[in-house]
Amino acid sequence: MSSASSPPPLGVADALTREAVEHWLREQDKARLETLWAAADETRRRYVGDAVHLRGLIEVSNYCVRGCTYCGIRAANREVERYRVSADVVLACARRAAEFGYGTLVIQSGEDYGIESEWMAGVLRRIRAETTISAITLSLGERPDEDLVSWREAGADRYLLRFETSDAELYRRIHPDLPGRISDRLAILRRLQELGFEAGTGIMVGIPGQTVSSIADDIELFRGFDMDMIGLGPYLPHPATPLGQEFERRQAAGDWPPDQAPNSELMTCKVLALTRLARPDANLPATTALSLIDRAAGRAHGLQRGANVVMPNLTPVDERRKYEIYPEKAAVHETAEAINASLMALLRQLGRTVGAGAGGRGPAI
């Protein structure tokens, strides 16, 4: 229901209190929310400009050793058709990204130790030597320190590792430890920064058991944790996962815990807008998950409510359909050319430009 009291004033960074964040997360009045959208959009324009930075995505493997209860490529899912692409496929995608004018290539996979450290280092060196890509981002899970050092030396600039939720109990439930290894993603993110990486993190919105209050805590963590990129997307249930099955049971029975945060486009946009106010100079993507939960306007809304990054998928179609972390994750039948054309049309419609170069974090001027 709509907030009964008048909303607190909106500010940037330290001027936006945690109390105000939680109030706005609960706000339902459409007219009042227009104030939030406008504040986030103006903050985005003032701090990072009108350019939208495009990060070409290549999903190099869907093998994963993890048992994350929300993820469709979790190790226990025997229905997944596993794959790893060759170095030549990665290079072809990097060249395609450069042809499209994308400044960055993002190399993503499950936590796959079949991707050996030296193999990836060799791929990174080839991208640097054979393409005009300005920056390389890795998103390969919780890898050992020696791998991270090797990849940084080989040419990787950025590393993405979502902490998913600041609620420690919920985190352990959705992201179980490996035998003999405690998962501490915040510590890994700090180590990535020590190694000279630009570090990116983020959360899912609407995980079963996640409260609105805990999302306010997440945004407080963003405020105090100096991240270069923050990815925010709605939780999308996968029927072949324990969490997806719990979601379906609760949804059917209307059996949600008190203060459960919805996995809606509206809540995701609130989190995005408030994160822009809390971290005004960070790179914030309009995620694929947001575009799926509202196919008509999700990505446009993201770009109008604080986002300045999009990650078009360049993974070959045969592999893309197998990287199903959640159902219908991407336009699996669309070519890279079709995805690019659609994205360019959207940017023209919104009056936004394509960012040049690496698109690092910081002021537009």
Q: Where are the domains of the chain?
A: 39-354
For residues 213-229, give the mean pLDDT: 95
The reported pTM is 0.94
Judged against a pLDDT cut of 80, whether residue 333 lies above it is answered with no
Percent of the chain with pLDDT over 70: 96
Q: Which two tokens stand for residue 54?
A: 């495009």
Nearest-10 Cα torsion for 11, 258, 204, 198: 50
Cβ neighbours for 301, distance < 8 A, ≥ 6 positions apart: 265, 269, 286, 290, 294
pLDDT reported for residue 163: 95
> Is 76 a residue whose pLDDT tops 50?
yes
Q: What average pLDDT does this structure show over 142-158?
A: 98
Cβ partners under 8 Å of residue 277, min gap 6: 10, 11, 12, 13, 16, 39, 40, 43, 306
Q: What does the mean pLDDT of the chain come to?
A: 93
* Sole residue written with tokens 């822009």: 276
CB 185 within 8 A of CB 165: no
Candidate from 103-112, 151-160, 356-365 with smallest mean pLDDT:
356-365
* Class (C level, CATH) for 39-354: alpha beta
The per-residue pLDDT for 6 is 72
Please check the confidence at residue 301 and state whether its pLDDT lies above 50.
yes
* For the chain, percent of residues with pLDDT exceeding 90: 85
So what's the pLDDT on residue 330?
A: 47
Please tell me the least confidently modeled range out of 149-153, 204-208, 235-239, 335-339: 335-339
Q: Are 322 and 62 in contact (CB under 8 A)?
A: yes
In this prediction, residue 1 carries a pLDDT of 38
How far from 44 is each of 60, 71, 130, 139, 302, CA to CA, in Å? 32, 31, 34, 25, 11
**Pick from 132-136, 240-244, 337-341, 357-361: least confident:** 357-361
pLDDT band at residue 2, thresholds of 50, 70 and 90?
very low
**Among 331, 355, 335, 365, CA closest to 104:** 355
**Structure confidence at residue 365 (pLDDT):** 31
Q: What per-residue confidence (pLDDT) applies to 20? A: 94
Instruction: Report which of 292, 301, 335, 297 is spatially closest to residue 315, judged by C-alpha positions.
Output: 335
